[in-house]
Amino acid sequence: MSSDETPVTPASSPFHQEPNPRDEAPQYVLPMVVRIEKTEPPARTDALETAARAVLVMLSDERSLGDGEWAAAMRDWQDARIRKVVRRARGAEWRKASALPGITVTGKSAEVRVFPPVPLDGWPKELAKLQVSGTDLDDPAEPGAPDPLAPVLWLNPELAMSAGKAMAQAGHGAQLAWWDLSPVQRTAWREADFALSVRVAPRGEWAALTSSGLPVVRDAGFTEIAPGSCTVVADHPGLRGR
pLDDT at 126 (0 to 100) = 95
| 2-133+142-239 CATH pick, 3.20.20.70, 3.40.50.460, 3.40.1490.10, 1.20.1600.10 | 3.40.1490.10
Q: What is the pLDDT of residue 133?
A: 79
Q: What is the pLDDT of residue 135?
A: 72
pLDDT given for residue 148 in this prediction: 86
Mean pLDDT per 10-residue interval, the chain, length 242 residues: 45 43 80 95 97 98 98 94 93 97 97 96 93 86 91 95 93 97 97 97 95 89 70 94 70
What does pTM read for this prediction?
0.89
Work out whether strand 103-106 and strand 28-35 pair parallel, antiparallel, or are unpaired.
Answer: unpaired
Domain ranges of the chain: 2-133+142-239
Res 3: pLDDT: 52
CA distances from 100 to 87, 95, 125, 128 (A): 15, 9, 11, 13
Provide the pLDDT for residue 13.
Answer: 34
Long-range contact set of residues 17-21: C-beta below 8 Å, sequence gap at least 24: 17/218, 17/228
- The end-to-end CA distance of the chain, in Å, is 33
